[in-house]
Each structure stands twice: as structure tokens, then as C-alpha cells.
Chains A and B, each alone.
Chain A
Amino acid sequence: MSTFLQQLVNGVTWGSVYALIALGYTMVYGILRLINFAHGDIYMLGAFMGLYASRWFHAAQDPSPVKALLVLLTSMLLSALIGMLIERLAYKPVRKSPRLSALITAIGVSLLLENGGVLVFGADPKFFPQLIPQKTIALLPGVAVSNQQLIVLVVSIVLMFALRMFVLHTRTGKAMQAVSHNHMAASLMGISVDRIITITFMIGSALAAAAGVLVALQSPKIEPYMGIMPGLKAFVAAVLGGIGNIPGAVVGGLVMGVAEVMVTGYLSPTYRDAIAFVLLIVILLVRPAGIFGKAVTEKV
């Protein structure tokens, strides 16, 4: 029982990272009906931006929670700007083209970021400084949580809550919902659809960057291809929850994280990556619109 609870704690922590990444997929899909395949690479860039930020703030020599927070926020901001550039330079020009062009563009951007990353950061793994020394907190006999895991959880929850408030209760958030419902009707309200799309990319990228920094805090080896697998799995998580649906992405991410940790613990670490695809196949067979998705016909 305690093993199970421990796995659950680990799974939920890991799942909240997937959830943060999945939110970006689902928001961009909701607005543009585009699968942004470069999104996992933004997670990678987020980790590297965090690495640079820790150097600027000398966070490795003299770690403190305030500096860790600064590193997180700087990385989120820089990645949001990168997300904006990618949208403006790569996706906007093909927005009116057939969807296949956008898909190919997305794959191209992904390759560009990965190989550009090798060029700029180097192919060998870099060490992310330990911004917060690890401590273990016992919850129950046999069940413990590290302070780093707690940070991952708390930061994810705060970000998701902030996103929810933003989308549901602010003027721009409502405009975002309007655009995701119908571009034409949104423009008739005086909403600049282009601006909302840009904001969506920025928010999605900032969340993925936060995930990158949070993961780097715990497993400090970062390299340019580190975004591929988590990106793919977070995409599956978004599909699982119902792509385009924000709460769905959170639930999908948690399910994915827990499933992965359970499979690793109870079956074999060999199946760790396979479970994502098993889940994808199962959901596509059983409920293709996802857990929260409405079975609506795709509008083109």
C-alpha cells in the first residue's frame, strides 16, 4: 500500500509536468486547429533559458528560493518571446494555406529548434545547477515527497489556476474563447484574431518553459533532444483529455504521469515509453474525442 501511495505521489508530480506541456498543445489547437509539433522543443528551450538565467543571477554559487523563482520567470518570459517569434515567422505565413503545409512547417520548426540547439548549446548534456538543495519530507511511513517534487506540484497548480482565472474571467481570456469558437465572429466583435493567436502561443510557450525548468531542477542533465519524448507524451495527454479542452489537458497529463510511473513500478521500466502509445491507441478506439471532448464534427 505504501508503495502504491509513493508511486501515486511520484506519478502526480510527473503528471503535472505533462499537464503544463499539454496545455500549450491544447490551447494552440483550440485556436488554430494546429498541432504545434515544435511545442516539446520549447520545453527544452525553457530548460536552457533557465540555465542561462541561473548564470546571470549567479544562482549556482549562491542558491536561494528567490533566485530560483527569478530563473523560472526569466525562462518563461524568454520562451514566450521565442514562441511569439515562431508563430510570427513560421506559422502566420502559412495560416491560410492547406493544413498539411502548417503541419509540415511545424515539423520543420521542431527540427530547426533541435538542430539549432545542438549548434548553439552543443550536443553533449549540460548540467543544470542545483538551485534548491534536495530535502525529503516523510508524509506517511514509507511515503515521502521531496521538496523539489513539492515545488513542481505547487508551481504547476499555481500556473494552472492562474491560467484558468485568465481564460474565464479576463477580457483577453474571453476573447481567446471567442476566437477558439469562431474566428469570423470574433473579428466582428473587434477582436484582433492575430493578436489573440500570438498571446496564445506566448502563454503556451511560457507554460512549457516552466515545465522545462521544473524538470531540470530534479534531473539536471539537459540536452537539445530532451523535448522529443515529453513533447510526444504531453501531446498524447492532450488528446487523452480531449484536444482543445483546457481542463482535459490537465487531467490527461495527470493520467499520463500516473500511468507511466505505475507501469515502471509494477511492470517494468522497459514499458515506460510504450504506455503513452497504448493509452493513445485505447482512447482513439474507445473515445476518439478524448475524456472531456465533445464529439463535434471538425470545422475546417
Chain B
Amino acid sequence: MSQLSVENLDVYYGAVHALKGVSLHAEAGEIVTLIGANGAGKTTLLRTISGLVSAKSGRVMFEGRDITRVPAHEIVALGLSQSPEGRMVFANLSVEDNLELGAYRRKDKSEIRKDRDAMFQLFPRLLERRKQLSGTLSGGEQQMLAIARALMSRPRVVLLDEPSLGIAPLLVRDIFRNIVEINRRGVTVLLVEQNAHMALSIARRGYVLETGKVVLEDEAAKLAANPEVRAAYLGG
């Protein structure tokens, strides 16, 4: 049984059919990536898994439990969190408060503090800015904060929506290194990216989404070598 599996998911926004029978799965300990062009439905898929968007049909299974109809705020408590597209940090709150909110559903105060310090170790830039309002951080720093905040709930699976979007290339490398490290510590990662090259270089397996459908699925190395993928997503 997969740790996370999506089975035949159909999602609509009014008349727009955004996901058309999408299935995918992630095994414990994997980094799985989902690549696809703008508008393919990647964000919609992550939002549906997290319970922010409701599916018309199909289901989402997490650790043997059907979470298709579980409200978003309860899914976090089950051990599945997300760093959303566009980061969505709480701009008028400090870095520390953002991290504290990431642990909103936890009661173990001293453990929360330990995890927060671990995040500061993983992202030293956040430590320097811990009292700063998160709205004043750079894009890359906000992205780090969004990822750290998602980890503060101690998820077993984390969904990352385009962590490289709008970020300086140097920081992108850092962030990908952090993702590998997070995974090494035992968190399963489902990574959505337009930066297919980077994503496929760290993932074990990958899916290609086109206009709401999974059109390819394979080991990441094979996808990276696939001529169609190279032409469409890796610039030839």
C-alpha cells in the first residue's frame, strides 16, 4: 500500500474540467515529482489532496485512510502538509510566529521549540531574521519560510508547490539541497515544479501532467532521458 495515492480524480471549477481522472502515488521515503506546463492542473491536484478543493469523483488515500472528504485543517493534523504556490507566508507576522502557526495543531511545546531550532539550522537565513516581519523577506527567504512552516507540523508527507518560482538561481540550488535533506530525514516529498531539470535530478520517480491528465509516468532518470520530455520541458 502506498503512503499517498490519488485514484481517478476528477476536479471541476464550474465548467472547467481541471483534472481528468488523475491517478498517482507516492511511497514512503520517496521524492516524487509532478511536472507540467502552466495551467496543466498541478496546483489543483495539490489543493485537492490537501482538502482545499473538492473532487467531483475519485479519491485520495493517505496511509490507508480515505481523506477525500476530510476538511483541509484536519488533514494537516493527520500528517500531510503543504507549502503552497506563491508561498502565502503571513506577511504581517514575524518569521517565528509563522513557524509557530505551522505547529498550530501540536501541543508538545518543548518539541515544537526543538523543531523550530532545527528549521533555523536547516535555513540559517531564517535564524538571522527570526523577529522580522515575513513580508519584508526576499522571495527566496519567504520560500524557505513556507517550507519550514509546512514542516513544523511534523508531516510524514509534504507537498511542495513550485518552490523555485520567482527565485534567484543561486537560492534555488540551496532550496533543492534542503528538499533532499528533508527527505533524507524521513519525509516523503511530492514536488510540483516547472523547473523540470532540477526536479527530475532529485526525484526518484516523476509524472508529467498535461491539461489535467497524466500523460507519462516513469523513473525520474528515464523521464529526463525521454526525448518527448526533453523537447517539451527540458529545452531540447
Residues in A with CB closer than 8 Å to B82 are 188
Query: Mostly helix, strand, loop or mixed at chain A's interface?
Result: helix
Known: A174-B100, A184-B52. A190 touches B92 (CB 8 A): no
Residues in B with CB closer than 8 Å to A42 are none
Stretch at the interface among A151-159, A175-183, A259-267, A269-277: A175-183
Check B90 for interface membership: any CB of A closer than 8 A: yes
Contact B101 A181 (CB under 8 A): no
What's the least CB distance linking A246 to chain B, in Å?
11
Report which of B50, B97, B100 forms a contact with A188, defined as CB distance below 8 A: B50
Contact A189 B84 (CB under 8 A): no
Contact B73 A190 (CB under 8 A): yes
CB interface residues, A 183-238, toward B, < 8 Å:
184-193
Contact A181 B91 (CB under 8 A): yes
Residues in B with CB closer than 8 Å to A178 are 90, 93, 101
**In the assembly, what is the distance between CA of A193 and CA of B71, in Å?**
11
Contact A174 B81 (CB under 8 A): no
**In the assembly, what is the distance between CA of A181 and CA of B91, in Å?**
8
Contact A190 B84 (CB under 8 A): no
Contact A171 B88 (CB under 8 A): no
Contact B52 A175 (CB under 8 A): no
CB interface residues, B 84-104, toward A, < 8 Å:
84, 88-93, 97, 100-102, 104
Contact A174 B101 (CB under 8 A): yes
Contact A188 B52 (CB under 8 A): yes
Contact A188 B105 (CB under 8 A): no
Contact A189 B104 (CB under 8 A): yes
Contact A188 B92 (CB under 8 A): no
In the complex, the number of residue pairs spanning A and B with C-beta atoms less than 8 Å apart equals 64
Q: Name the CB-closest residue of B to A180.
A: B92
Check B153 for interface membership: any CB of A closer than 8 A: yes
Report which of A181, A186, A187 forms a contact with B92, defined as CB distance below 8 A: A181
Known: A174-B93, A189-B149, A191-B73. A184 touches B88 (CB 8 A): yes
Q: Name the CB-closest residue of B to A192.
A: B73
Q: Name the CB-closest residue of B to A181.
A: B90
Contact A188 B84 (CB under 8 A): yes
Check B76 for interface membership: any CB of A closer than 8 A: yes
Q: Name the CB-closest residue of A to B93.
A: A177
Check B77 for interface membership: any CB of A closer than 8 A: yes
**In the assembly, what is the distance between CA of A136 and CA of B101, in Å?**
49
**In the assembly, what is the distance between CA of A171 and CA of B73, in Å?**
15
Which of A175, A188, A193 has its CB near the most chain B CB atoms (within 10 A)?
A188
Residues in A with CB closer than 8 Å to B89 are 185
**In the assembly, what is the distance between CA of A189 and CA of B52, in Å?**
12
Contact A171 B104 (CB under 8 A): yes
Contact B104 A175 (CB under 8 A): yes
What's the least CB distance linking A145 to chain B, in Å?
37
**In the assembly, what is the distance between CA of A187 and CA of B50, in Å?**
9
Residues in B with CB closer than 8 Å to A192 are 71, 73
Report which of B91, B97, B104 forms a contact with A190, defined as CB distance below 8 A: B104
CB interface residues, B 103-162, toward A, < 8 Å:
104-105, 149-150, 153
Check B61 for interface membership: any CB of A closer than 8 A: no
**In the assembly, what is the distance between CA of A181 and CA of B73, in Å?**
16
What's the least CB distance linking B145 to chain A, in Å?
12
Contact A191 B84 (CB under 8 A): no
Which of B76, B77, B104 has its CB near the most chain A CB atoms (within 10 A)?
B104
Check B72 for interface membership: any CB of A closer than 8 A: yes
Report which of A171, A174, A177, A184 forms a contact with B84, defined as CB distance below 8 A: A184
CB interface residues, A 243-271, toward B, < 8 Å:
none
Q: Name the CB-closest residue of A to B81.
A: A188
Mask of A163-179 contacts with B, CB within 8 angstroms, 1/0: 00000000100110110
Other contacts beyond A188-B81, A188-B150, A192-B73: 9, CB < 8 A = A181-B91, A184-B88, A185-B84, A187-B51, A188-B50, A188-B82, A190-B73, A190-B104, A192-B71
Nearest first, the 10 closest Cβ-Cβ pairs linking A and B are A190-B76, A190-B105, A185-B88, A187-B72, A189-B104, A189-B101, A190-B104, A192-B73, A187-B73, A181-B90
Q: Can you pick out 18 interface pairs between chain A and chain B where the beta carbons lie within 8 Å of each other? A: A175-B101, A177-B92, A177-B93, A178-B90, A181-B90, A181-B93, A184-B88, A185-B90, A187-B72, A188-B50, A188-B52, A188-B72, A188-B150, A189-B101, A189-B153, A190-B73, A190-B77, A190-B104
